[in-house]
Structure 1
Amino acid sequence: MHDVDPLHKFEKQFQSFVENNPNVISATQSSSHIPESAKAVVVLSPLSLRHQFPRFWVSKAYKKTIVERPERLLACSMGIAAAITMYPALFSLKTSHSKKTSLRASHVLKVHGRDWPRELLQLCKDSDEVLAAKKLEVPESWNAGDIYLSRETIEALEGSISALELGLDSIFRGPSPEQTSNRAFVALRPPGHHSHTATPSGFCLLNNAHIAIEYASETYDVTHAVVLDFDLHHGDGTQDICWKRAGFKPDEDQTEDSEYDEFGKKFAEYPKVGYFSMHDINSFPTELGYATKDNIRNASTCVMDAHDVNIWNVHLQKYETEEEFVKLYQTKYRTIFAKADEFFRTAKLAMKAEGKKFKGLTVISAGFDASEYEQASMQRHGVNVPTFFYNMFTKDALKLAQMHSHGKVLSIMEGGYSDGAIASGVFSHLIGLQNQNWIKEWGSAQVVKEIVRGCKANWKPYKTKRARDVIRIWAEEVIKLGRAMIPDFEELLFEHEVAETAAEQTAARRVTRSKKTTVNPVVPVRDSSAIPRTTTPTPVNSRRFDQKAAVSGEQGPASTVPFVEQELHSEEDEEDDEDYVYDEELNQTFNRTVEDITIDDISRHLETLDLTHANEEEQKRADEQQRPRIRPDSNAQGRTAPPSSSSGSNNYHYKIPSGSTTRHLRNSRNSRLLNFDDSDISMISHISTARGHTTRSGQTKW
């Protein structure tokens, strides 16, 4: 059972962290000067842990191919904890443990219709009996290697929906504007961007982004939203639902509906949503050698303001150096922000012309499986992004939100399947969510390695540490905070896995003593076949249920199944430290970055997020602006006309950040930061003239 306060253990551990690190005391004391509106909310979804692989009869080797696992939330917690240790006064932690929202809620049904939630619920309820008979619990047409269900999946999905609601409530509702945050990150699973209206796919059962947007429309009158998706894979489900919102009949809908014309089109629905994605065109659902023509075409669609459709897809490219990646980002990937800006501008003009009120929302589909630290099998096409990308992208998303959605940003966790990718990606993303610069050392291999040690069920602190080994000392603080975030980690992940490992070791000793070989029993599957049938080719990274693999742990005909070589957790012993090399320079530099943050005036870190009121003359000029005209300059970066402001009486513009924000970015260490221009969104310029800015006050929980 949960503690009365599910964050009690975390708060106690945080207090210990403060006491053990005097440098952060000034930072926590500064929190009383930080307005609640300036903090980023992190929403935890403990019930998401309940969705667990239920086929108890399969081999341990086969279980390792199931990468959408509860442990992903533990890795995510490590990234959250790392960000909190750097900026302890700038985050507010919340949990949705006590609230469950029905799959029949109106904002779910508007996205998925009435049939799919009902079918999903029934399959989950029936799964206990089916699984007890050692049969597959999902329909034959599904990919049983990708998707699994249990009765507890209902609770997990209900908890995820409530976490989305809590995130939106946190950024839209408060005692006053001064006490309402603008940015929220929701840590949940399973992911959602492959989920279509009535078809599950790629680990995804419900489309979290669209459900969140529908809730924001119902509850807070949001009329337009953009989804910015940086997952390695194309969010085909999210894009398909955008077509539905534009009034086009979903492919799954075979009913005769008089609302649609002879071409399968009706009036577009509100809220209107634009989808803007960067992804690998050779990965699922467009896997090389398996992709259909339609899938490739869909993942390459670029349509703006045509029949209520706004979609822009950009394909990731290979790069050799970080500087080369930055050039790609500035000249190619940033295009999606220009297109999202265009969508918002056009929507504002259209709403004004119709005499309607515009209200925007910026949503990030935050998948971390494109990370440089993701498993090699996931990135077998040689496409990835450096860790600092998540910081750059997120800061650009903030600027877009400042111009069009009053700074409101909801980030939702999508993919990411190795501990290193999730922990480092979330760390970088959250630092960006507070508009702070990413320090290169924070994403070093040594730092990431130390953090992900905490993802082992049987983790223990080092018995001895060097006094100068700042990274290891800091990482252990991070691990303790991360493991304390959700009480259910102990019951569902730590105790169970440790007990299972102990039982296996005992069994192995018995076998050794008796010198007998244990033979795995035959695994029953469906009465009709061992492998589910499907009418479409199976992508390489969509694992199927393979009988031989499930029985023996070997790879049968489906030898192309990825992730088999993946180690979900390092197999090295806790005390095995033979490959460790102490890096004096890295530790000294890392220590300086921490000290500079913790002794600095935390309130100054927020100056880059100031909102400024536009005067009437600016508002008049902004309303007269037409859609942006992109013209590349000599540096291959474009510029557009200044942005129009939001409709309504309270209008805001993004204030150009000053050249200096915090001391740790003003000193000689600037040479260690990558040289790129992050002062704007490349193709979007900002209005710098302002009459004044609001001052806000608030109080943190810590």
Structure 2
Amino acid sequence: MSQDPLEEFYIQFQKFVQNNPNVISAARSASQIPESAKAVIVLSPLSLQHVFSRDWVSNSYRKTIVERPERLLAASMGVAAAITMYPALFTLKTSHNRAGSLNAPHVLKVHGSRWPREVYKLCKRADEKLARGEIEVPKEWNAGDIYLSSATLTALRGTIGALETGVDTIFTGASPEHISNRVFVVVRPPGHHCHVTGPSGFCLLNNAHISIEYAADTYGVTHAAILDFDLHHGDGTQDICWKRAGFKPDGATREENEEPYDDFGKRTAAFPKVGYFSMHDINSFPTESGYATSENIRNASTCIMDSHDLNIWNVHLAPWATEEDFMKLYRSKYRTLFAKADEYFKTARLEMQKQGTPFKGLVVISAGFDASEFEQTSMQRHSVNVPTEFYTLFTKDVLKLAQMHTQGKVLSVMEGGYSDKAITSGVFAHLIGLQNQDWIREWGSEQVVKEIVRGCKPNWKPYKTKRAQDVIRIWAEEVIRLGRAMIPEFKETLFQEPSNGAATLPPGQNTIAQRLTRAQASSIPKEQIQKPEVVQASNPVSHNVPFIEQDLSSDNEDEDYEYDEALNQSFNRTVEDITIDDISRHLETLEIIQSEDEEEEQAPPKQGTYKYTTKDPRHPNNNAYKVPSNTTTEYLRHTRRQTKPKQEPPAYDDSDISMISYVSTRKHTTRSGESKW
């Protein structure tokens, strides 16, 4: 492996810029945009180490294991797609050399000392059990959802390190001028089902809460809001919020030097304070009919604000027939989460003012993509989902919330999403939103997504032939090359040589083709290997190949393919229009509202245009969630945006949300829909 694990990606990115003259101006604009205006993607190569190792099971059973290392490759395709559209607006980082500790204070404060210790022991013993052909997880666990090996420890430590890297990037960066307010951390396994003292779903540690605890310990964060758009309720994340409020978790033991619980199982609430705001399918795990307990159903419907140190709001997904129907749902129902998160932050700020204590906030997104319209039906069994554009809309609303309360600081952590199409398209749309840009309908079309996810095949090869004007296929192959180059370990763990009867090489040994590729890459002068965030392209290569005329040859053909000329022409216009005005206007769209003056920072945010009224006499502004008008920029892409009359989003309505504040003890349920392995 090269000294810089991103070197191969930089080489591929340089080729991408050279092959696409219309991208050069956008790449050149990178130097005009400060790091604080860019979004950072943190990769976690060590997360690949968590693998399903029951070698004796059938191939058909193996296919039911959907939480797999390949999810990182699909996410990388989504990252690459966003980078090709806005090469000046993203910075890529890797946490390959940062392994956290299961005994770190920010892990123990979330999970106590017993659970991390149990995970460690189970992983250490797993290989021996697997070698004997035994199930390596305790019999009370759902072995169809959770698997372990000794390498799982490496993955978990890598996940912790990636989360720490993400938080550090938000608050310190490599230097003061490199602090970036928005970070997307690409990790697995997911975390929002993991409770205080045990696993659930595919989750072994609660990544969102660990991130918040680290931010509190290291940077003084006092309050955080978790916004969760995974298809499934984050029962573990919500459970930990009850713990933070001072309630005794099920199965927890008192830690040394901790305050005792009173007779009702309550003690003083702990900092940092965390509010949880989730939209999910009430009929899916952990509340799927036939498996759900009454406690789980109540928990997934809990709505309680500023009571007993709790701030929790759950909204249930509803079916929709047309995009117009969905937008009505989004404006009237799903955006309720932002009104409630806004209420939570405002109340917290006022309380801290009364105490004379500084307020410091953080917004965390539990970014699960299994509610996507592209998710597999076996995971999405109850006919509720969201269009791909949702991930852009929701994320842009998160930015507005963060601008008002956390100085724009947003940490997004990958949760669910299990089909290649759902992950790739969801990550793509999410990152576009994380930079406050507009989602373009063509980008989420079935054909475009299908072309990108071809790169998720282990033995992917470019097409042998294609039409000269087939911009979608040519662009997709650029995306695939970038995505597959992001993590060098993909070659060792996921990619396969074409089937020719040759033996598989041990991990770490390159084939001749791989060595040739590295030799060719090493022939490019290092000074020409420019990173996406600093590409200048001031001396274009004389043999530039136009974007739509590249000759990409391969033996692979798609006999079912039908060329869609209208879609290709429309898609090409969206690509060509990228560089016109978006870069110059980008800083306007990400203007931070709060004054840098600490006293002014405590003042209520500026008035805005859209509002979702929550009548609360304690707050002079009616505790309304408002989209600041001075941060809304009209883009100049009129040719590719459908003109719709502007409408005031209606005030949200609680009438369709269960106002349940009762939570009882939890019980293990299955996520896969099967009770036994």
- Category of TM-score, reference length = shorter chain: 0.7 to 0.9
Alignment of 1:610-649 (within 5 A): 610-612=591-593, 614=595, 622=604, 631=613, 641=622
* Paired residue type of 1:656: N
**Whole-Å separation in 2 of the counterparts to 1:640 and 1:279:** 30
Give the letter aligned to residue 670 of structure 1.
R
Shift of 1:174: 3.4
Residue 126 of structure 1 aligns with an amino acid whose one-letter code is R
For residue 412 of structure 2, give the secondary structure of its aligned residue in structure 1: strand
Q: Does 1:596 align with 2:577?
A: yes
Q: Relative to structure 1, is the Cα distance of residues 211 and 128 closer, same or farther in structure 2, using a 3 angstrom cutoff? A: same
CA separation of 1:146 and 1:603: change in aligned 2, threshold 3 A: same
Q: After superposition, where does 1:4-403 map in structure 2 within 5 Å? A: 4-174=3-173, 177-253=176-252, 259-403=260-404
Counterpart of 1:413 in structure 2 is 414
Q: Residues 270, 296 of structure 1: CA spacing in aligned structure 2 closer, same or farther, 3 A cutoff?
A: same
**Separation of aligned partners in 2, 1:96 and 1:176:** 17
What SS does the corresponding residue of 2:189 show, helix, strand or coil? Answer: coil
Distance of 1:286 and 1:500 partners within structure 2: 47
Tell me, in whole angstroms, the C-alpha distance in 2 between the residues paired with 1:631 and 1:100.
45
Aligned CA RMSD, in angstroms, stands at 2.8
1:669 aligns to what?
Answer: 640
Q: Deviations over 1:637-666 (max 9, x none)?
A: xx9647799xxxxxxx956334523x32xx
**Distance in 1, Cα, partners of 2:354 & 2:79:** 43
Which residue number in structure 1 is paired with residue 537 of structure 2?
none
After superposition, the Cα gap between the structure-2 partners of 1:480 and 1:500, relative to the gap in structure 1 and judged at 3 Å, is same
1:580 aligns to what? 561
What's the CA shift for 1:459? 0.4
Structure 1: runs of 5+ lacking an equivalent: 505-572, 634-638, 646-652, 684-702
Q: Which residue of 2 aligns with 1:446?
A: 447
Report which stretch shifted further, 487-496 or 65-74. Answer: 487-496
Does the CA contact (< 8 Å) of 1:26 and 1:599 recur in 2? no
Q: Distance in 2 between matches of 1:600 and 1:19?
A: 21
Counterpart contact for 2:612–2:650, Cα < 8 Å: no
Query: 1:364 deviation in Å?
Result: 0.1
Contact 1:37 1:177 in 2 (8 A): no
2:495 is matched with 494
Summarize the Cα distance change of 1:25–1:139 in structure 2 as closer, same or farther, 3 Å threshold: same
Which SS does the other structure have where 1:494 is aligned?
Answer: coil
CA distance in 1, matches of 2:555, 2:290: 41
Secondary structure in 2 matching 1:277: strand
- In structure 2, C-alpha distance between the alignment counterparts of 1:212 and 1:465, rounded to whole Å: 46
Residue identity matched to 1:80? V
CA shift at 1:612, angstroms? 4.2
Aligned residue pairs total: 595
Q: Taking structure 2 as the reference length, what is the TM-score of the superposition?
A: 0.83
Indicate if the aligned counterparts of 2:343 and 2:625 stay in contact, CA closer than 8 A.
no
Answering whether residue 464 of structure 2 is matched by residue 469 of structure 1, we say no
Determine the C-alpha separation between the residues in 1 that align with 2:353 and 2:485.
49
Query: How far apart, in 1, do the equivalents of 2:496 and 2:145 lie?
Result: 26
After superposition, residues 514-593 of structure 1 pair within 5 angstroms as 575-593=556-574
Q: Is the 8 A contact 1:226 1:273 kept in 2?
A: yes
Aligned residue identity for 1:37 = S
Percent identity between the two aligned chains: 67
- 8 Å Cα contact 1:396-1:681 kept in structure 2: no
Q: CA deviation at 1:495?
A: 3.0
Aligned residue for 1:622, secondary structure, equals coil
Aligned equivalent of 2:518: none
Indicate if the aligned counterparts of 1:172 and 1:220 stay in contact, CA closer than 8 A.
yes
Q: Tell me the equivalent position of 1:656.
A: 630
What is the SS of the residue equivalent to 2:495? helix
The structural deviation recorded for 1:253 is 1.7
Contact in 2 for aligned 1:403/1:643 (Cα 8 Å) = no
Post-superposition CA distance 1:375-400 (Å, at most 9, x none): 01222210010000000000000000
* Pairwise CA distance, 1:95: 0.1
Contact 1:435 1:609 in 2 (8 A): yes
1:466 Cα deviation (Å)? Answer: 1.0
Label 1:180 to 1:378 Cα distance change in 2 as closer, same or farther (>3 A): same
1:186 is aligned with what amino acid?
A: V
Q: Which residue is 1:513 aligned to?
A: none
The question of whether the paired residues in 2 share the 8 Å contact of 1:83 and 1:430 is answered with: yes
Following TM superposition, by how much is the alpha carbon of 1:179 offset from its aligned partner in structure 2, in angstroms? 2.5
Letter in 1 for 2:584: S
| Structure 2 segments unaligned to the other structure (5+ residues) | 505-553, 653-677
> Alpha-carbon deviation of 1:603?
2.9
Task: Give, in whole Å, the separation in 2 of the partners of 1:138 and 1:344.
Answer: 40
Q: Aligned pair in 2 of structure 1 residues 325, 138: CA closer, same or farther (>3 Å)?
A: same
AA aligned to 2:586 is: H
Query: What displacement does 1:141 show?
Result: 0.9
Separation (CA, whole Å) in 1 of partners of 2:232 and 2:97: 32
Shift of 1:580: 1.4
d(CA) in 2 for partners of 1:486, 1:420: 20
Deviation at 1:502, TM superposition (A): 7.5
- The residue type paired with residue 465 of structure 2 is T
* Cα distance in 2, alignment partners of residues 619 and 598 from structure 1: 35
